[in-house]
Amino acid sequence: MKQSDTRSVAERIEALRHEIDQHNYHYYVEDAPRISDAEYDRLMNELIALEEAHPDLITPYSPTQRVGAAPASAFGSVRHAVMMRSLANAFDPEDVEAFDKRVSDALKGAGLLAARGDVDYMAELKFDGLAVSLRYEQGQLVQAATRGDGQTGEDITANVRTVRSVPLRLRGKDIPDVLEVRGEMLMTRRDFERLNAQQQQRREKIFVNPRNAAAGSLRQLDPRVTASRPLRFFAYGWGEIRLRRKDGQVDLFQQEAGDADMPRDTHSGMLEWIGELGLPVSDLRRRVKGLKGLLGYYEDISERRAELPFEIDGVVYKVDSLAAQDVLGYVARAPRYAVAHKFPAQEETTVVLDIDVQVGRTGALTPVARLKPVFVGGVTVTNATLHNEDEIRRKNIFIGDTVIVRRAGDVIPEVVASIPELRPENARAFTMPRACPVCGSAVERLEDEAATRCTGGLFCAAQRKQSITHAAGRKALDIEGLGEKLVDQLVESGRVQSLADLFTLNVLELSAYERMGRKSAENLVKAIDKARRPELSRLLFALGIRHVGETTAHDLAQHFGSLEAVMDADEEALLGVRDVGPVVAGSIRRFFAEPHNREIVRALQAAGVQPVHEAAPQSGSLPLAGKTLVLTGTLPTWTRDEATRHIMAAGGKVSGSVSKKTAYVVAGEEAGSKLEKARSLGVTVLDEDGLKALLGL
DNA sequence: CAGCCTCGAGTTCT
DNA sequence: CTCGAGGCTG
């Protein structure tokens, strides 16, 4: 009785283990789960309960054993049976062409390729994670190791056992005696974001990118921590392989042994075989022919890169035939039959040479990192804003530090994090100056504000220059030919002290400035004259009142109709304007209460500046009345401004961020995060033609 | 009062 | 483009 009980329990345990393994396989390898998470948990809980009642039946390959063993004090080292090599890199099509030519020539010489034939390649993704080697003996996972120096790596078996997409047992009938699988451990972007959100909540370390998160998770001395981290594994190669022969003898094959009796005779075939044994293999690999095939794959993957759930840093090309691989052999530490075609790096490390402080139009002191020039994402980056004091402290950046610089989806470089481990002894902490570096006025930092500001106001040359550049800008008075360089000269010479002084400039005196010929001076004077009849909203925006940007200036102009009315408006009147609250109203009142500012307005009027009333929006049923649209990417024929004008003319509004209230997102080439957001919120996405159709064009 | 929605401001390099 | 912050809404 007792005997049979135990046997049926053992059978049930084994059945549960098998079933759970199956579901892991469906989930991680086939990417097609067949049961809900809740059902999965139910199976797991039953197994845990049975094993707890019968500890003698626990085996190392049971799925319950993934929860993580007790912490270790250090990692042991593992010598790889077959070296883990690195790959040569290609950075542009010419490098790839050279690779293809070398391969073709060698294979033709060896009689493995017809004179005009194209080489068969296997192309696959180059995952941005950590290379690891998994060793299976008799079908069971017995060891996992990092790459290390290629010869010797660290023993991370206890950690890897917790990774669900790594099978603890191989599947299928013809299981090799020994199989070393090489592949990449990584984290999907979604899992990475979720993990970071969690880390933030628990006030624990935030990871810089998915690769660091994966690396940090694998290098935990406590496997229980690793067990809580969402790691994934993809196989792309192999090391030692021993197959069992029919006569019971064991055959030894190695990646470089050059044997005709591998289970399959191509690289792609081998990966299929590895997949059949239950290991996850990416299905974005493809067999292609010749140089054209390689470059076509690269282009295709480049386009799909953003949609991939995980990060890749390029693609890898391998000669598909194993016999051909043997002929090509190795050079130094890399095989001659393979190459990694890398995307332009989006992240690089460099050194912070210094931290300067810039003074902005509103007096905000902005620290800027001067970087050792570094090539990131296709351009050389030398500067990056550090925003403010808190940001520097948060990212723990010292002058002299090695830092990670990113040029993500957008264009603007960003210092992502510092690497304090590489901090030199003479590194200096940054301190915000107590006096403005431009005018020497005291600086202040208001409570609840991130910015430190110069108190000099328009006495400060930096603020004066930038307020004038701002007023001359395209969205303000739109004075063509008045750029930053010229404003610098005009202000430094003392000729221009305020916006009003611009309107007293003449051709003769302008010609005296650098890079100002007679012709340029004449054009500039004409442009300035044109600015004497600005739309009221543009003039209001040009004044540079704090918290009054393009939109608010427009609303104020519509509401009050004249500059005088805005100047004389009291708090209550201002609060009547939509989107104007106490802060904005106070800012406007303070601006016009300042005698200096009233004087500038008076001088502008004296110089003949007279705002014109803009056309009130037509009422009636316009096609986009009441709708908010968001533009992203580059449209084929319209500029952003043109599209905005058309939309506004049709009664619509253009906003910068996508939300549930957004009616349409108009996406062009290289649309970024806004397109993704639109999709996730289910907002209708249009192209330029779709927009034109709505407008009835 | 919290959470959402916008607006404003600052920023890089070619 | 992103972040911070003001204003509005539920």
Give DSSP secondary structure letters for A343-363: PPPSEEEEEEEEEEEEE-TT-
Residue A326 has pLDDT above 50, yes or no: yes
Q: What is the CATH number of domain A3-65?
A: 1.10.287.610
At A256 the pLDDT is 46
Using the CA of A446, give the nucleotide whose C1' is nearest. Answer: C5
Taking residues A239-262, report their average pLDDT.
62
Taking residues A556-562, report their average pLDDT.
88
Q: Are A434 and A357 in contact (CB under 8 A)?
A: no
Taking residues A519-543, report their average pLDDT.
89
Taking residues A311-329, report their average pLDDT.
89
Q: Which CATH architecture has domain A619-695?
A: 3-Layer(aba) Sandwich (3.40)
| Vertex A392: Cα angle to A386 and A396 (nearest 5) | 135
Determine if strand B comes within 7 Å of the CB of A653: yes
Taking residues A106-120, report their average pLDDT.
85
Residue A383 has pLDDT above 70, yes or no: yes
Taking residues A537-555, report their average pLDDT.
89
Known catalytic membership, residue A126: yes
Determine if strand C comes within 7 Å of the CB of A412: yes
Return mean pLDDT, chain A: 84
| Superfamily holding A436-616 | 5' to 3' exonuclease, C-terminal subdomain (1.10.150.20)
Nearest protein residue to nucleotide C8, judged by CA and C1' positions: A579
Using the CA of A383, give the nucleotide whose C1' is nearest. Answer: B12
Find the catalytic residue in A2, A101, A108, A126: A126
- Give the alpha-carbon dihedral of A540, A545, A547, A550, to 10 degrees: 30
Q: Residue A38, CB half-sphere, CA atoms under 13 Å: how many? A: 0
Residue A136 has pLDDT above 50, yes or no: yes
Determine if strand C comes within 7 Å of the CB of A585: yes
Domain spans of chain A, in order of start: 3-65, 103-342, 347-422, 436-616, 619-695
Most confident of the following: A216-230, A445-459, A526-540: A526-540
At A410 the pLDDT is 53
| Vertex A466: Cα angle to A462 and A470 (nearest 5) | 170
Residue range A588-639, pLDDT digits in tens: 999 999 898 899 999 999 999 999 876 665 555 677 777 888 888 778 788 8
At A125 the pLDDT is 94
Q: Which CATH class is domain A103-342?
A: alpha beta
Residue range A472-503, pLDDT digits in tens: 888 888 888 888 888 888 888 888 888 899 89
Q: What DSSP line would sit under A256-313, residue for residue?
A: TT--TTSSSSBHHHHHHHHHHTT----TT-EEEEHHHHHHHHHHHHHHHGGGSSS-EE
Instruction: Copy the structure tokens of residue A40.
Output: 């999965």
Residue range A334-360, pLDDT digits in tens: 788 999 888 877 788 889 999 989 888
Q: What is the CATH number of domain A347-422?
A: 2.40.50.140
Determine if strand B comes within 7 Å of the CB of A383: yes
Band the pLDDT of A459: cuts 50, 70, 90.
confident
Q: Could you say which DSSP state residue A82 is in?
A: S
Instruction: Copy the structure tokens of residue A213.
Output: 């998160």
Least confident of A168-172, A521-525, A674-678: A674-678
At A409 the pLDDT is 53
Distance (Å) from CA A685 to C1' C10? 28
Taking residues A223-233, report their average pLDDT.
84
Band the pLDDT of A71: cuts 50, 70, 90.
low
Determine if strand B comes within 7 Å of the CB of A364: yes
Residue A135 has pLDDT above 50, yes or no: yes
- Nucleotides on chain B that have an atom closer than 7 A to a protein CB are 4-14
At A43 the pLDDT is 85
* pLDDT > 70 fraction of chain A, expressed in percent and rounded: 92
Residue A3 has pLDDT above 70, yes or no: no
How many Cβ atoms sit within 10 Å of the Cβ of residue A159? Answer: 30
